[in-house]
Structure 1
Amino acid sequence: MACCTLFIAMELFISPRHHHPFDPQDGTIPSNHLHNFEHSSMALSFLIFATFTIVLDRFSTSTIVENELSHLLAAIAFAQQYLLIHFHSRDHVGIEGQYHYLLQILIMICFVTTLMGIGFPMSFLVSFVRSVCIIFQGLWLMFMGLMLYTPGYEPKGCFMKLKEGQYVVRCNDEKAIHRAVALVNLQFSWFLIGVPIFAVSFYLIMATCYGEKVEYVSLMKEEHHLEDGLKNFNVES
């Protein structure tokens, strides 16, 4: 929740030159700040999901209803993320478009597995795939930021160009574009190899350490039980 709030503040109030995303003359949204609203809207949907999940965890009397509603809110957040990435205000050409296209695949997998979590709440595989895909998505987003917005990391034959107040990667010719897109596909395939290796290895380590003894308990309810235990201890003392 704190990360989402900070991200929204960065996009709307800290990063813009005037510390707000609106045109200072007429109050409209300038074209070079559309992406700020798109990014903050994604973060807002996940903030809403996190907030209501905590509220449901605290006050819901039905575990089934809590599970279904929280998964539904998460699915809505992923759906909004997919739509905003798919219809992003930035152009989807060349290397940047390929990065976004592959990102959409990860978002769609997260969306589908989240919906499947409503019908199969006890499925380990559904939860595992969703968790791994969320990790994959986070790593891919960070990698995109490194490769697209850090000077010196452009593929051979490509360069950074300032366009409408935003830096974009452009290539000299079709040959350079095809090479850059092929490199993006290779990078994604390497992530596709590395992330499952890490996830399965981590699972095996945790299974070796804890086996099947782990029981999942609501954080809010656990805190409530701890508070009750402390009160009883004080009374007995």
Structure 2
Amino acid sequence: MLEGHQLLGFGFFVIGLWHLFNHTKLHALGSKSYTSTLWFPTTISRYMELHFIMASCTIFIAMELFIAPIHHQPFDPDGTIPTTHLHNFEHSSMAMSFLVYAIFAIVLDMKCTMAQHELTHFLGAIAFTQQFLLIHLHSRDHVGPEGQYHLLLQLLITVSLATTLMGIGFPKSFLVCFVRSVSIVFQGVWLMIMGFLLWTPGFQPKGCFMHLEETEEYVVKCSDDEALHRAVSLVNILFSFLVIGVTVFAMSFYLVMLRRYGGKVEYVSLVKEEHYREEDGFVKPKGTIDLENNMDDDESQKKSMQE
């Protein structure tokens, strides 16, 4: 579903970029006092980020279960779930996991529990685990270019999951949070690109096309093995280009933020420092050797001996 991929991808992109900005800013302002977190308050509202996640998940669930289906409800007349709507429930379950995370993140913050940091990360890890499992065990047979897109997406989810769990044991590690933020941004970009290139007519690779199955679902198929191999290779090439692009963006973003918010270190030459010490009345301790004077004395002695 094009709208679903776009909406979900845009949500990941915004949250990832917001995290990248805040983590880098906090790190630049004072790395010693830096502590990782999964969400950030704003001047407008303390829970604006979490409310954004809740609203996005609610809209996504509504689109999957009530807006996208032809009859605007996902059930058959007998109350069972039809085969054509299994993937709608799977997608909705992913959004529900992040919705639960956002709700309990607010509750834990209001209650000021001692284990707030650990439990919030645990909830985030559950959401990423749910996302990974539902994509890996999807009811639709992801084959061809569609399968390759989802396979590489699982790689990004694994990075997000691993760094979220690592945030529990390494709360002061900027690198863990930085990598997690970049992986979330990458997820958003990849989901939006997947939606455009897979489900937009005319954007499929040469030799591939959208085909309406008997289950009334559109799948991307290729005319022959050569076209299939080419399509999968193009997905891999696109992913590798995006890895380079996202890496360049992340490093450039870090350097710009460090220059903008980082503390300035002043360097003073040794000659000036010695001059300032003399003006302040600094006296060399007894027995201190003046290397410059000794070198001058040695040179003068050598010249006198030669004469």
TM over 0.5: yes
C-alpha distance after superposition, 1:39-61 (max 9, x if no partner): 01000000100111111122224
| Aligned position for 2:89 | 37
Decide whether aligned partners of structure 1 residues 165 and 123 sit closer, same or farther in structure 2, where only a CA change above 3 A counts. Answer: same
| Aligned position for 2:245 | 194
Counterparts of 1:158 and 1:212, CA distance in 2: 54
SS in 2 for 1:161: strand
User: Which residue, 60, 81, 89 being the options, matches 1:7?
Assistant: 60
1:155-234 to 2 correspondences below 5 Å:
155-163=205-213, 164-211=215-262
SS in 2 for 1:200: helix
Query: Letter of the aligned partner of 2:217 in structure 1?
Result: Q
SS in 1 for 2:221: strand
| Aligned position for 1:125 | 175
Decide whether aligned partners of structure 1 residues 114 and 98 sit closer, same or farther in structure 2, where only a CA change above 3 A counts. Answer: same
C-alpha distance after superposition, 1:135-161 (max 9, x if no partner): 001110111001110000010111110
RCO higher in 1 or 2 (8 Å CA, sep ≥ 6)?
2
Q: Which has the larger radius of gyration?
A: 2
Query: Letter of the aligned partner of 2:86 in structure 1?
Result: L
1:143-154 to 2 correspondences below 5 Å:
143-154=193-204
Counterparts of 2:217 and 2:60, CA distance in 1: 18
1:106 corresponds to 2:156? yes
1:27-66 to 2 correspondences below 5 Å:
27-62=79-114, 65-66=115-116
What RMSD, in angstroms, separates the aligned Cα atoms of the two structures? 1.2
Counterparts of 2:84 and 2:147, CA distance in 1: 18
Query: Letter of the aligned partner of 1:121 in structure 2?
Result: P
| Aligned position for 2:302 | none
Query: Letter of the aligned partner of 2:211 in structure 1?
Result: K
Query: Letter of the aligned partner of 1:67 in structure 2?
Result: H
Counterparts of 1:169 and 1:74, CA distance in 2: 32
CA drift at 1:204: 1.4
SS in 1 for 2:259: helix
CA drift at 1:212: 5.5
List 4+ stretches of structure 1 deviating above 2 A.
Answer: none
SS in 1 for 2:178: helix
SS in 1 for 2:89: helix
Decide whether aligned partners of structure 1 residues 40 and 202 sit closer, same or farther in structure 2, where only a CA change above 3 A counts. Answer: same
Query: Letter of the aligned partner of 1:155 in structure 2?
Result: P
| Aligned position for 1:73 | 123
Normalised by the length of structure 1, the TM-score is: 0.86
Counterparts of 1:18 and 1:159, CA distance in 2: 27
| Aligned position for 1:17 | 70
Normalised by the length of structure 2, the TM-score is: 0.67
C-alpha distance after superposition, 1:22-67 (max 9, x if no partner): 01x21111111011000010000001001111111222242xx111
CA drift at 1:18: 1.1
Counterparts of 1:80 and 1:88, CA distance in 2: 12
CA drift at 1:114: 0.5
Structure 1: runs of 5+ lacking an equivalent:
214-237
How many aligned residue pairs are there? 210
CA drift at 1:7: 0.5
CA drift at 1:119: 0.3
Query: Letter of the aligned partner of 1:139 in structure 2?
Result: V
SS in 1 for 2:72: coil
Query: Letter of the aligned partner of 1:191 in structure 2?
Result: L
| Aligned position for 2:272 | none
